[in-house]
Structure formats: C-alpha cells, structure tokens
Amino acid sequence: MSDLFALVERLYPICRSITGDGVRRTLEIVGESIPLQVHEVPTGTQVLDWTIPKEWNIRDAYIQDADGNRVVDFGASNLHVLGYSVPVSGTMSLAELRPRLHTLPEQPSLVPYRTSYYGETWGFCLAQETLDGFGEGPYEVLIDSTLEDGHLTYAEHVVPGRVSDEVIISCHTCHPSLANDNLAGIAVAVELAKRLAGTEPWYTYRFLFAPGTIGAITWLARNRVERVRHGFTLACAGDRGPLTYKRSRRGSEIDQVAAHVLKDREHTILDFTPYGYDERQFCSPGFNLGVGSLTRTTYAGYPEYHTSGDNLDFVSAEAMADTLDTCWDIVQVLDNNRRYLNLSPYGEPQLGRRGLYASLGGRSDTKELQMAMLWVLNLSDGEHTLLDIAERAGQPFAVLSEAARALHDAGLLKEQVA
C-alpha cells in the first residue's frame, strides 16, 4: 500500500497537461518502476478527426498586488493557471482582470481546475474567498509560458502473454495536481503491471499512459486495434467511495467478468454512456472495442472533482489497494475464462479410477471441488465459459478453474479455441 501512495505523492506537484515537459517527467518517474516505450507525436499530425496541438509548457505565473504580495501564485498550486494559457505580462485593474478569473462561488474555499486546450487564451483559477479580498488594483500579472510546435507524449508498457490477443488498461496523464482523478489510476496501473510481470498470463496486457481524449485518439490512429479483445480505463481509483464499473458499448466478456468480481464488494454497475473517460474513444462506433471503465466514485461524481480538494488528503492507500486487488481479480478471471468440451459426455465419467477424488483427500473444500467438477463436466459443451458455469453453479470462479484444470489433465476435457 505504501508504494501506491508514495507514487501519488511524488507525482502530485508536477504540472501536467495534454502535452509538455510535465507529462515527460511523469513518464520518467513511472519508468523507474516499469519499462516504458515512450512515443512523441509532432504538432500538426493528423490523428483521425483531430490534429496534434501545439506543445504547452509553463515556468511561472502570478497575480501580484501593489505591495508585492503574490495573491495568486502558480508556485503555490499549479491549478492557479488556466491550462494552456498563452504568455501574458502587464499591469491591470481588477475590472480588467476579472473576466480572466475563474472561481467556484458555491465552493468558495476551493480552486477550480480549468483548461483551454484548443482556443488560445489565458486566465487564472483561484478560490472565491481569495477573490473576495481583492481591491481595485492595480495588479501585476505574469504568465511565463510557451505554446509552440512540439510533440504529444504518451507511453506503453506491454506484458507479453501466451497469445497475441490483448487486454488494454488505459489511464490518463494530463491532469496537474489532482490526486484521485488521474494519479491514483496511474499508481494502480503501475502496481498491476508489476504484479503481472511475475506471471505468465494468457493474454498480452498493454498499459497505456496517455493524455485524455487526444492521447487515446492518437493511440487508436496509430495502432492495429483488431488484436484488442478486452480492456478498461482506470481513473478515480483512490477515493473512499465504493467501486463503480461502467459497461462497454457493445456488451462484452469484460463486463461479465467485472460484474462477477464485484458482486461480493460494495459496488455500482452502470450502462455505457458516451461521456466520461477514454472508454468513449475505444467504444466509438468505428472501433467498438470491448472496453469498460473502472473507478471508485464516478467521473464528476464527488464535490472535490476538478478542484484543489482533490488533494493528497482526499485519497487513501487502503482505497487504492482495494482498487488494485479488484483489478487483479478481474485480470485473473479474464485470463482463465475458457470454454471446454467434455470428451466423455455420455453419462458421468468415473472420476475415482482417474485419481480425481483421491487427489482431494484432506482438503477442507473437498465437497465444493467435487461439485465443481460435476458442474464443469455437465456444462462443458463448447458453449459455456467457466464464468458462465461459475454463475450457474453459484460457486467461486477460482474453484471452477481449478476443477477444469484437473479434468483437463485427466483427459476428460478439451479446451475450445476461440
């Protein structure tokens, strides 16, 4: 658990956006834990219906009063600047400055997170209670930024499987100091990749670390997607709310797996909507991939969302660990969900002479595993997956999977190739 929170804590101060050095620094830190293939896509590159924008970087920004006090300071919080603000320097009255100031009157102590990626403008974000203390000015205003041709940066980490069919796990890297809405998802994805590294999975697992929307669109434009069999986006992974899974657009095996894993946890399952994280790009009708979304509290579903309230105190190592365990369970079911064909379907095969009953001696779950074998034999007709059988039998998937392996090794089952 400590590794999860430590990574969030380390990444939290970095100013990220959809492009720029903050994204690169974030990926450098992630790359200390898992090997990454980093991609740089030049400004102006056409990606589906979009174009890679100019690259934005920022060094400093502030609003300073006549006494030399920085009443709004980028150095205190990178949320204080409207994302993608063009450079500005000058002296202004409050009346001139006010149209450029963004607050949350209904949450007066919080600083909002705002951006303007595709329209060249500038602005500041601040707490309403700070703005209420402003005089008429004058104020010195500075945004020391650049917006120029550069690159969009994203990265991939691949865990090779026994087959080339892929499971994609995607998290976004474009938010600045927001602990739950992006950093917790990055931390969980990193730890999940590290767990998988010590296994020999069935599927190939591809982890995508990319800016929201434009990053997923760029990846989709540059890659063959027919190999993607399953996947989920991972965000809002560290708050204390219950888990939420949003189904894929087309309805797919990943949806069934997630529902099965979550049934013994406090959770919510939602139908697909074309709003939220990058599942909406993977599930756009031209691709229609089997990609769902896993969060705790939903997108925009908590008062601290896209505000300074989404800070290190808002997330917990325990919540991130629970999200990680849920992801691991989803991966384990997905990776072991097979269809089998009973090779002795006429009557019940004699299990005792094959040593299957004897092998259970002394186990506390002997009866459960015996019943699992009978269920697997009965429903292994090439049509039912192990997960189908687990749900019909009301038994844990892991027990059905163990039973299937024993029956397969005894020559009673043949695995069906999808």
User: With contact defined as beta carbons under 8 Å apart, do 314 and 239 qualify?
Assistant: yes
Q: What pairing do the DSSP bridges indicate for beta strands 267-270 and 243-246?
A: parallel
Are the CB atoms for 21 and 173 separated by under 8 Å?
no
Cis ω for the linkage preceding 138 (within 30 of 0): yes
How many beta carbons lie within 10 A of that of residue 7, not counting itself?
22
DSSP characters over 62-114: EEE-TTS-EEEETTT-GGGB-BTPPPEEEEE-HHHHGGGEE--TTSTT-PBP-
Q: State the pairing for strand pair 228-234/291-295.
A: parallel
Helix (H, G, I), strand (E, B) or coil at 126: coil
The token pair at 417 is: 């190739």
Asked whether residue 157 is marked as a ligand-binding residue, the answer is no
**Number of residues in the chain:** 418
Centre a 10 Å sphere on the Cβ of residue 354 and count the other Cβ atoms it contains.
17
- 175 in a labelled binding site: yes
Say how far apart CA 246 and CA 95 lie, in whole Å: 45
Pairing of strands 166-172, 204-210: parallel
Question: Would you list which residues are annotated within the binding site for Zn(2+)?
Answer: 175, 181, 306
Residues making up the annotated binding site are 175, 181, 306
